[in-house]
A and B are shown apart, each in its own frame.
Chain A
Amino acid sequence: MRDVRDALMVARNTDGKLIRRPLSPHLQVYRWPVSMAISILHRVTGVGLGLGTLLLTWWLVAAAVSDDAFARVQWFLATPIGMLLLFGWTLALFFHFFAGIRHLVWDAGYGFEQPWYDRTAWAVVIATVAATLLLWIVGFAVW
């Protein structure tokens, strides 16, 4: 036994024999319902947006420091890699935004019942794609 978490896995079965408690089935056992994909993506996009704050910080600091530094960050963001990062950032942001609102609705006590549980999951996907495309279309129109 390594620690208390291990100790809590020990139990007796109906014959009184000492056994190790079974673990609940893990991720790879399930088929992928949309709600599970959304839940995992919410975490993944959260971590991704954390990395995205480095870009925000770079942009703000460069703007505050000098013309040269700001020109560099603006140049980088206009490169294909920069554009791809920005696109990924907006996609992740909108996803985390909409999935987060779904979480807040749950926190208020609503939306746990089917069919709304799955419907709102799909709504998050659709809203994310629509909002991201809209933002980039408006962006290119204004630019």
Chain B
Amino acid sequence: MANAPRTPHVDILRSPLGRARGLGSARAGAAHWWTQRITSLALVPLTLWFLCAMIRMLGATRDDIVYWMAGPLPIVLMIALVIATFHHLQAGLQVVIEDYVTNDALRIGSILLLKGLSLLLALACIISVLRLGL
């Protein structure tokens, strides 16, 4: 019976209802996944550097911090740290919200709020670093 005709069928794993409702992959999942990995990879050395720097800055006055931040390395690495941190944060927290918030309006609203807040906090940090270091 090896040559028996196969029953007509469709090789698709997605339910017809799922297709009709348009829920499912927006084809952007891999990009989001990569964002999380790449920012985490960048944060490995940046975090270690930041912790070492903070240990050395213990008890520092504001003038000490201004002097330190004016160095070519600290100002660049601090801004890199801030960008990587907040980018990683908004990507990670988005997944947490998507996992637990089932109400559409609440989910989309809180994700937008998260992204907006992350961006504002990151900008506040970057501008502060520039004010200190420039």
Please list the residues of chain A having a beta carbon within 8 angstroms of any beta carbon in chain B: 3-5, 7-8, 43, 46-47, 49-50, 53-54, 56-57, 60-61, 63-65, 67, 70, 90, 93, 97, 100-101, 103-104, 107, 135, 138-139, 142-143
Say if the beta carbon of B15 comes within 8 Å of chain A: yes
The answer for the CA separation of A50 and B114 in the assembled complex, in Å, is: 10
Q: Is B92 an interface residue (CB 8 A)?
A: yes
* Chain A, Cβ-Cβ closest to B24: A4
Q: Which residues between 84 and 133 of chain B lie within 8 Å of chain A, taking CB atoms?
A: 85-86, 89, 92-93, 96, 121, 124-125, 127-129, 131-132
Residues of A within 8 A of B125 (CB): 56-57, 60-61
Assuming the contacts A8-B18, A64-B131, A135-B51, asked whether A143 and B59 have C-beta atoms less than 8 A apart, the reply is yes
Contact between chains at B18 and A104 (CB < 8 Å)? no
Among candidates B55, B86, B127, residue contacting A53 with C-beta atoms closer than 8 Å: B86
Q: Are B89 and A8 in contact (CB under 8 A)?
A: no
**Which chain B residues border A5 with CB–CB below 8 Å?**
23
Shortest CB-to-CB span from B93 to chain A, Å, is 6
Residues of B within 8 A of A90 (CB): 51
A61-B40 contact given A43-B96, A46-B96, A139-B55, CB 8 Å threshold: no
* 8 A Cβ contacts from B17-67 to A: 17-18, 21, 23, 37, 40-41, 43-44, 47, 51, 55-56, 58-59, 62, 65-66
Query: In whole angstroms, what is the CA distance A59 to B100 when docked?
Result: 31
A137: min CB distance to chain B, Å = 11
Q: Is the interface of A mostly helix, strand, loop or mixed?
A: helix
Residues of B that sit less than 8 Å from A by CB: 15, 17-18, 21, 23, 37, 40-41, 43-44, 47, 51, 55-56, 58-59, 62, 65-66, 85-86, 89, 92-93, 96, 121, 124-125, 127-129, 131-132
B94 to chain A, nearest CB (A): 11
Please give the distance in Å from B117's CB to the nearest CB on chain A: 10
Is there contact, CB below 8 Å, between B58 and A142?
Answer: yes
**Please, which residues of chain B bring their CB within 8 A of the CB of A100?**
40, 43-44
Residue of A nearest to B86 (CB): A53
Q: Which of A7, A46, A47, A50 contacts B17 (CB 8 A)?
A: A7
Docked-complex contact A50 and B93, CB < 8 angstroms: yes
A107 touching B37 by the CB < 8 A rule? yes
Q: How far is the CB of B13 from chain A (nearest CB, A)?
A: 12
| A7 contact set on B, CB distance < 8 A | 15, 17
Q: Which of B58, B85, B121, B124 contacts A143 (CB 8 A)?
A: B58
